Amino acid sequence: MKSFDNEEVLRGVDLTVNRGEVVVVIGPSGSGKSTLLRCLIGLNDITSGEVWIEDDNFTNEVPVSIAARRKMGFVFQHFNLFPNLSVLDNITLSPIKNKIQTVTEAKTIAMELLKKVKLEDKINSAVSSLSGGEKQRIAIARALALSPEIMLFDEPTSALDPETVKDILNIIKKLSDTGMTMVIVTHEMSFAKEIADKVIFMDDGQILEVNSPDKLFNRPQNQRTKDFLNKII
Ligand code: ADP
Ligand code: MG
């Protein structure tokens, strides 16, 4: 459970993400999707309950361990990059500062990742000079730099122009093809259908339905899922 100022924004949430699984979270604005992701990664404290990352757990009393935190990469809707730093520094700052990689290692890894997101020519550019789509590609590269086992995406394309949305979705799709475990909050329903192993519908801080994409989109069981899908599709 998660409360802000005594207001419960997540209630009775019980969710298992298996290794290699792609879980897509959908639901109306304010339903608690971002809070759920932020609680999973320890960016928001939980009020009660527990989160398990493999054999490591945390509660409202025991904070997330550094080891568990490092297993998770997070991509935000609004990129959350350091705008005044270069692309390279954005990717290498944390691994170097936390002594996880040497400067040389960090640079090598950053260059490989920049190739993957097709931005190797921007390595020395200031992030502030990049387009939204480019920024999000850098944010994905940064999240991958610590070799996470789970990637969490919070509406990664909501802030982007329609023509760049596809680029980002393709990168995420490729990542899923490598077997990466992922939890993705998105409003891109056709993408959700294509990529998800299971889809979660949230409303009012609760998980109201968990199903295969086929079932959830074509034969939703919960009336509120039906109403939501009718509104947006
Ligand atoms: P979603 O991502 O589904 O749009 P959020 O997880 O952002 O929903 O928000 C769920 C609820 O929690 C909303 O009512 C929102 O106003 C509230 N909330 C989110 N973050 C905070 C915060 N830092 N302080 C107080 N209330 C918050
Ligand atoms: Mg949100």
The string of pLDDT tens digits covering residues 84-106 is 999 999 999 999 999 999 999 99
Asked whether the predicted pLDDT for residue 109 surpasses 90, the reply is yes
If you measure from the C-alpha of residue 130 to the centroid of ligand 1, how many angstroms do you get, rounded to a whole number? 29
Ligand 1 mutation target, pool 6, 7, 9, 41, most atoms within 8 A of CB? 9
Quick check: CB of 76 below 6 Å from ligand 1?
no
E strand or H helix at 210: strand 206-211
Question: d(Cα 19, Cα 27) in Å, to the nearest integer?
Answer: 24
Cα 219 to Cα 119, 195, 213, 215, 216, distances in angstroms: 41, 18, 9, 5, 6
pTM of the model: 0.95
Quick check: CB of 182 below 6 Å from ligand 1?
no
If you measure from the C-alpha of residue 28 to the centroid of ligand 1, how many angstroms do you get, rounded to a whole number? 12
Question: d(Cα 162, Cα 203) in Å, to the nearest integer?
Answer: 26
Burial classification of residue 100, based on how many CB atoms lie within 10 Å of its CB (0-12 exposed, 13-18 middle, 19 or more buried): middle
Q: Residue 27 CA: which ligand 1 atom is closest?
A: 3
The backbone region for 12, taken as left when phi is positive above 0, alpha when psi lies in -120 to 50, beta otherwise, is: left
Reported as a pLDDT band with limits 50, 70 and 90, residue 227 is very high
Asked whether the predicted pLDDT for residue 110 surpasses 80, the reply is yes
pLDDT at 195: 97
Return the residue whose CA atom lies nearest to atom 26 of ligand 1: 4
Return the residue whose CA atom lies nearest to atom 19 of ligand 1: 35
Give the closest residue to 11 by CA, choosing from 42, 40, 28, 32: 32
pLDDT at 117: 96
Complex ipTM over 0.85 = yes
pLDDT at 178: 96
